[in-house]
Amino acid sequence: MTSTDPGERVALFRDAYARVIERIAGASARVGRDPANVTLLAVSKSLAPDGLRAAVDAGLTLFGENRVQAGIAKAAEVPGARWQLIGPLQGNKVGKALDVFEAIQTVDSVGLAERIDRLVAEARPRVRYPILLQVNVDDDPAKAGFQPAALEAAMGPLAAFERLEVQGLMTIGRLAADPESARGTFRRLRDLSETLRGRAAAIGPALSMGMTDDFELAVEEGATIIRVGRALFGERRPD
Ligand SMILES: *Cc1c(COP(=O)(O)O)cnc(C)c1O
């Protein structure tokens, strides 16, 4: 993103947003889904607060950040935005995360869920706090998340947390040269969700899967939340 003129930036984001919406509609139509059942989470980790304010002006309101501290800093400077956490969460940051994020998509252990449940009582009494369970569908040693086989055993303990609403499952697909190979990952997450729900697990139907390179495949395979960064905001500069 080289443009610094705020008006021009809003126009770029608005166009990119419209194209992503069109592609969601196209993918939905291919499989007979209603595109209204796909939530676009705009992944804003590459944007500073001025870029985020332009994104809000372009009509985006729901943002994903992968670091607690960055989310807190940006939220203070970007009115009108809602935030979800899509990166790893350490136990000692849960309280802070609850102050800013309306949902945590990356719950990867019963211990973390237990801690969120306990702190929600202080931070957000009277609500059931939405979480997704991150699943390492491909058993990738580099990725966080429940192993699929471990998830079923975790369902009992998770159901006992009265202040949590387990809305569904989330996965980060493998970095695949061929996007079609991501399809298998998405299918496995959906199958896992259906299996668990078929056994009356206390878990909702949400499926958070798909990013810039493969969100259309994810929509075709049943994603209800896609997490898109680069297709909206441009390529990230290498760190
Ligand atoms: C960065 C990130 C995304 C978005 O990736 P893009 O390729 O920019 O769309 C989605 N999910 C997670 C967990 C991320 O960290």
Query: Which of 40, 86, 89 most suits a substitution to test ligand 1, by most atoms within 8 Å of the C-beta?
Result: 86
Q: Are 210 and 176 in contact (CB under 8 A)?
A: no
Q: Quick count: other Cβ atoms within 10 Å of Cβ 15?
A: 11
Measured CA to CA, the distance from residue 86 to residue 181 in angstroms comes to 22
With a 6 Å cutoff on the Cβ, whether 229 touches ligand 1 is yes
**Given this model, what pLDDT does residue 228 score?**
98
Show the tokens assigned to 14: 């608005």
- From the number of C-beta atoms within 10 Å of its C-beta (0-12, 13-18, 19+), residue 125 rates as exposed
Average pLDDT per consecutive 10 residues, the chain (239 residues; last block may be shorter)? 75 98 98 98 97 97 97 96 97 96 98 96 86 94 91 92 96 80 94 93 94 96 98 79
Write down the pTM of the prediction.
Answer: 0.95
**Given this model, what pLDDT does residue 39 score?**
98
Show the tokens assigned to 236: 């990230």
For residue 150, the cross-strand partners are none
Give residue 213 CA to ligand 1 midpoint distance, Å.
Answer: 10
With a 6 Å cutoff on the Cβ, whether 225 touches ligand 1 is no
**Given this model, what pLDDT does residue 173 score?**
82
